[in-house]
């Protein structure tokens, strides 16, 4: 038995040594790149700039099942801000998705009908750039923004209205009756309400300094942000936070890596060391997709404006969120200097909603 244990220790030490050597001789994650090299590296990984014209928007975001038109978008905008879509006529989509404040509500959990909190204590995701994501909600249960739009309206703890009541209320408005007829060539239906709101949300893309950098302006972001971008890429953050939206493209396990240190883990063969508790109090008890701690990867555009963080809004500061993600997703203990650089990069992801000239 002692011989077996000794062999295990030797093999473990050798394996650790090999990994260390591989790390030492691999590319330096803090290597200095020219602006051109950094830009090309980012673009090659799919970190693309937001479109700035309506034609480009359609190429990126149009939905074949719900083709965008200016009149449909205008109708959707009107519905997005209409409190008549809630039971007490006091809540609209814009109530929890404040477009000038990051596209969310900046509180740990959404407050809905009759002052109710989300029963799972879920934090409202941003609506900005959400149409670029491949799934909606924290567990990814909705395929697109059109499907997602119907959820909060019907939820008893959010807007608390049935599809039939939505249709009845809107049909009482001659203006809405006319507009739906023009846009959809049919009477008002809840499905078309979802399509209209979804069409509007597809235009809520934001453009900022990072996009200027990707489009060739070397001076759009400072050296600190460039270091942060380089760290973001080389340390592995870009493995999940990909695409034009810098996230929202996949469902991932969280936490991925053990909460405890390796040397303090009880190596019980019946215990999955990756099935760890959250690195914060899981208020609300939500466990993601199929209760397997799988969550839609958050969109990082405007992330510095959408505090608090994680599915239940448990973490207030962006720096702590970066530390947690580094440690428990990619297995890196970021230094304070590195965290500050990454946050500087995140600030370049702040942006304003693009005016696509839609009347």
Between 252-266, 288-302, 340-354, the lowest mean confidence (pLDDT) is in 252-266
Residue range 212-238: mean pLDDT, rounded = 98
Q: Which of 146, 158, 167, 179 is catalytic?
A: 158
Annotation says 146 is catalytic: no
What's 29-50+206-353's CATH class?
mainly alpha
- Render pLDDT for 114-147 as a digit per residue (tens, 0 to 9): 999 999 999 999 999 999 999 999 999 999 999 9
- Do 29-50+206-353 and 54-201 agree at the fold level? yes
Cα–Cα distance measured from residue 251 to residue 298, given in angstroms and rounded to the nearest whole number? 9
Look at domain 54-201 and name its CATH class: mainly alpha
pLDDT digits (tens, 9 = 90+) for 192-207: 999 999 999 999 999 9
pLDDT digits (tens, 9 = 90+) for 9-59: 445 444 544 444 344 334 455 568 999 999 999 999 999 999 999 999 999
The pLDDT value recorded for residue 359 is 75
Q: What pLDDT shows up at residue 287?
A: 96
Residue 3, pLDDT > 60, answer: no
- Delimit the domains of the chain by residue range: 29-50+206-353, 54-201
What is the pTM (predicted TM-score) of this model? 0.88
Q: Higher-confidence residue: 58 or 259? A: 58
pLDDT in tens, 68-104: 999 999 999 999 999 999 999 999 999 999 999 999 9
């Amino acid at each position: 038995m002692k011989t077996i244990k000794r062999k295990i220790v030797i093999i473990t030490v050798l394996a650790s040594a090999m990994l260390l050597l591989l790390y030492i001789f691999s590319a330096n994650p803090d290597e200095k790149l020219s602006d051109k090299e950094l830009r090309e590296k980012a673009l090659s990984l799919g970190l693309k700039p937001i479109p700035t014209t309506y034609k480009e928007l359609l190429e990126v975001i149009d939905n074949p099942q719900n083709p965008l038109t200016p009149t449909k978008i205008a109708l959707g905008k009107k519905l997005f801000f209409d409190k008549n879509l809630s039971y007490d006529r006091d809540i609209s989509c814009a109530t929890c998705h404040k477009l000038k404040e990051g596209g969310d509500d900046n509180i740990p959990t959404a407050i809905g009908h009759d002052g109710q909190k989300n029963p799972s204590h879920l934090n409202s995701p941003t609506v900005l750039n959400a149409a670029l994501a491949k799934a909606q909600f924290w567990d990814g249960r909705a395929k697109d923004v059109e499907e997602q739009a119907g959820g909060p309206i019907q939820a008893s703890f959010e807007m608390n209205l049935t599809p039939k009541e939505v249709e009845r209320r809107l049909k009482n408005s001659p203006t809405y009756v006319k507009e739906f007829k023009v846009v959809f060539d049919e009477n008002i239906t809840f499905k078309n309400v979802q399509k209209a709101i979804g069409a509007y949300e597809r235009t809520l893309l934001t453009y900022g300094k990072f996009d200027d950098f990707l489009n060739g302006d070397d001076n759009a972001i400072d050296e600190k942000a460039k270091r942060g971008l380089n760290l973001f890429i080389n340390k592995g953050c870009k493995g999940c936070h990909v695409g034009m939206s810098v996230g929202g493209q996949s469902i991932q396990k969280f936490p991925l890596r053990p909460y405890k240190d390796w040397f303090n883990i009880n190596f019980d063969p019946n215990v999955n060391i990756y099935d760890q508790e959250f690195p914060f109090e899981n208020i609300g008890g939500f466990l993601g997709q199929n209760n397997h701690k799988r969550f839609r990867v958050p969109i990082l555009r405007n992330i510095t404006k959408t505090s608090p963080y994680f599915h239940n809004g448990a973490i207030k500061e962006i720096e702590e969120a970066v530390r947690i993600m580094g440690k428990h997703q990619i297995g890196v203990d970021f230094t304070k200097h590195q965290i500050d650089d990454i946050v500087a990069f995140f600030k370049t992801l702040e942006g304003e909603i693009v005016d696509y000239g839609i009347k």
